[in-house]
A and B are shown apart, each in its own frame.
Chain A
Amino acid sequence: SAVISQKPSRDICQRGTSLTIQCQVDSQVTMMFWYRQQPGQSLTLIATANQGSEATYESGFVIDKFPISRPNLTFSTLTVSNMSPEDSSIYLCSVGTGLSVGYEQYFGPGTRLTVT
């Protein structure tokens, strides 16, 4: 298993600003993913963070709004840009044990974002 930490655990931000969320894993992993979960709702995959190349985004998510970095095999960041109240959500990173999201994943504790 992998131990995943996220920073910050929560934040309250103003409309129009940006927030960068960090995800740190205690071991090297190939696959890292970012999800969004609105309170009381299910999870939606935002993108796959690829080490050394651009992230792969799911339908409905774009790089300008959610830029992702993956500088090495243990770390990734997700930025939520030009925030609006609709971006209020829990953002989770996960790591995969195989080639894609289809394989078992370990999730971080999440970052609770509130946009005012």
Chain B
Amino acid sequence: LAKTTQPISMDSYEGQEVNITCSHNNIATNDYITWYQQFPSQGPRFIIQGYKTKVTNEVASLFIPADRKSSTLSLPRVSLSDTAVYYCLVVVYSSASKIIFGSGTRLSIRP
């Protein structure tokens, strides 16, 4: 089961682009990289998922280099409402898959 490493916290300002990098050195061939967002007093919310190269949706982009040992979640033009904890997970699509929610990155956005 691949373990992930993320920065404990990050600070940024409204309107900036924020990049959160996750390290997953022992990622396996069948593993996907998934990001969840959690606001205080709420359950986590799925943001984005990818296998390689770049994935973009209406909320974020996910960049995965060729060796897949790391990935970067990119949040364009953040606002105060993006203040949350962001979790990077490595998952495999099988009936017996396991996941580990790491410690996450606490992102604080300032005006």
Among B42, B43, B45, B49, max chain A CB count under 10 A is at B43
Cβ contacts B37-60/A at 8 Å (1 or 0 each): 000011111100100000000000
With the chains together, A102 CA to B92 CA distance in Å? 6
Contact A92 B97 (CB under 8 A): no
Question: Which chain A residues lie closer than 8 Å to B103 at the CB level?
Answer: 41-42
Contact B97 A101 (CB under 8 A): yes
B76 at interface by CB-CB < 8 Å? no
With the chains together, A92 CA to B105 CA distance in Å? 20
With the chains together, A99 CA to B94 CA distance in Å? 7
Q: Nearest CB to that of A4 among chain B residues?
A: B43
Contact B94 A101 (CB under 8 A): no
Size of the chain B interface, CB-CB below 8 angstroms: 23
Contact A100 B87 (CB under 8 A): no
Contact B43 A109 (CB under 8 A): yes
Among A103, A108, A109, point to the contact of B93 (Cβ < 8 A): A103
* Chain A interface mostly: loop
With the chains together, A109 CA to B38 CA distance in Å? 10
Contact A100 B94 (CB under 8 A): yes
Give, as a whole number of angstroms, the nearest-CB distance from B20 to chain A.
15
Question: Which chain A residues lie closer than 8 Å to B102 at the CB level?
Answer: 42
Question: Assuming the A-B contacts A42-B103, A104-B49, are A110 and B91 also in contact, with contact meaning beta carbons closer than 8 angstroms in the complex?
Answer: no
Give, as a whole number of angstroms, the nearest-CB distance from B4 to chain A.
11
A106 at interface by CB-CB < 8 Å? yes
Q: List 12 A-B contacts (CB under 8 A).
A: A42-B104, A92-B43, A98-B93, A100-B94, A102-B32, A102-B91, A102-B98, A105-B44, A106-B46, A107-B43, A110-B41, A110-B42
Closest 4 CB pairs of A and B: A107-B43, A102-B97, A102-B91, A43-B101
B residues apposed to A, CB below 8 Å: 32, 34, 41-46, 49, 87, 91-99, 101-104
